[in-house]
Amino acid sequence: MPTHTIIDSHCHLDFEVFDADRQALIEHCHSLGISHFIVPGVSHRQWSKLITICADNLSLDLALGLHPMFMEQHQPSDIEALKWALTDYPAVAVGEIGLDFYDKSHDKTTQISLFTSQLELAIEFDLPVILHVRKAHDEVLKLLKQYPVKGGMVHAFSGNMQQAEHYQKRGFLFGAGGSITYPRASKTRDVFSQLAIESLLLETDSPDMPLKGQQGQRNTPKNLLTVLSTLAELRGEEESALAAASTANCQRLFNLNDRLVPQ
Ligand SMILES: [Zn+2]
């Protein structure tokens, strides 16, 4: 019996790199106590595979959105398509959406317009959002004031404590992932040691965001156990307390209560 029941609140299990061993990997994760996975959308052309995979696996929950790092794939008509997909499929969130000003190749105005259209849909469908934000926290916080979504998750949060407090007031939780395993990420580690336990989520962002010592390898949700132990050590908390709290936080945020697979 695994010691904890934990949820990978952000991973891309639908990506091609998992095609060869997806089912075996999911079952292995279950045996380790990683009972559930939130799998976000990134582009219109990827949704149908994602929807099928989530429909075939009770422990995978679907989110639908247009990711800011895939700008060259998005068409203006994708917003209308997203509206229909949210109508037809049981998404637990609109995501992964946001602003990426780190990647200078994508025009800021186009990103903002795509992002705000999706915030409008989240309000219309009364869903939380999954945010991808790089070098743009203040811009995103400004837009959340104009588009008051019901809350959500800031995936792989890397902002400061002041920004965290603003997100918190708007009903946002924070995803801790592989970056906290790097000693050089001292600012992020410091923020995660201070955040309230009620606002923490565990994530791997698999297959991306490799842990320290695993650069160049495929990241998998199995690494969620290392994220848990690293975060517990950083915060001086028991793993069991952190596991229980982050699982409850994730269930509450994404309304998963009737969806979790019993262990
Ligand atoms: Zn992601």
The residues, any chain, with a CB within 8 Å of residue 203's CB and separated by 6 or more, are 8, 9, 10, 11, 155, 156, 175, 176, 177, 224, 227
- For residue 72, list its beta bridge partners: none
Residues 161-175: what's their mean pLDDT?
98
According to the model, what pLDDT value does residue 217 have? 87
Residues 85-111: what's their mean pLDDT?
94
Query: 19 pLDDT band (50/70/90 cuts)?
Result: very high
According to the model, what pLDDT value does residue 1 have? 75
Binding residues: 10, 12, 96, 132, 155, 205
Q: How far is the CA of 135 from the centre of ligand 1 (A)?
A: 16
Binding residues for a divalent metal cation: 10, 12, 96, 132, 155, 205
In a domain, residue 150? The reply is: yes
CATH no. for residue 79?
A: 3.20.20.140
In a domain, residue 122? The reply is: yes
According to the model, what pLDDT value does residue 263 have? 45
In a domain, residue 261? The reply is: no
pLDDT reading at 138 higher than 60? yes
For residues 85-120, b (16+ Cβ closer than 10 Å) or e, as one string? bbeebebbbbbbbbbbbeeeebeeeebbebbebbbe
In a domain, residue 260? The reply is: no
pLDDT reading at 43 higher than 70? yes
Q: How far is the CA of 183 from the centre of ligand 1 (A)?
A: 22
pLDDT reading at 92 higher than 90? yes
Q: How far is the CA of 208 from the centre of ligand 1 (A)?
A: 8
Q: How far is the CA of 247 from the centre of ligand 1 (A)?
A: 19
Tokens of 3: 């010691």
According to the model, what pLDDT value does residue 258 have? 63
According to the model, what pLDDT value does residue 3 have? 83
Q: Say how far apart CA 233 and CA 249 lie, in whole Å.
A: 19
In a domain, residue 263? The reply is: no
pLDDT reading at 175 higher than 80? yes
Q: How far is the CA of 124 from the centre of ligand 1 (A)?
A: 23
User: Average model confidence (pLDDT) for the chain?
Assistant: 95
In a domain, residue 125? The reply is: yes
Total domains in the fold of the chain: 1
- For residue 174, list its beta bridge partners: 154, 200
Q: How far is the CA of 12 from the centre of ligand 1 (A)?
A: 6
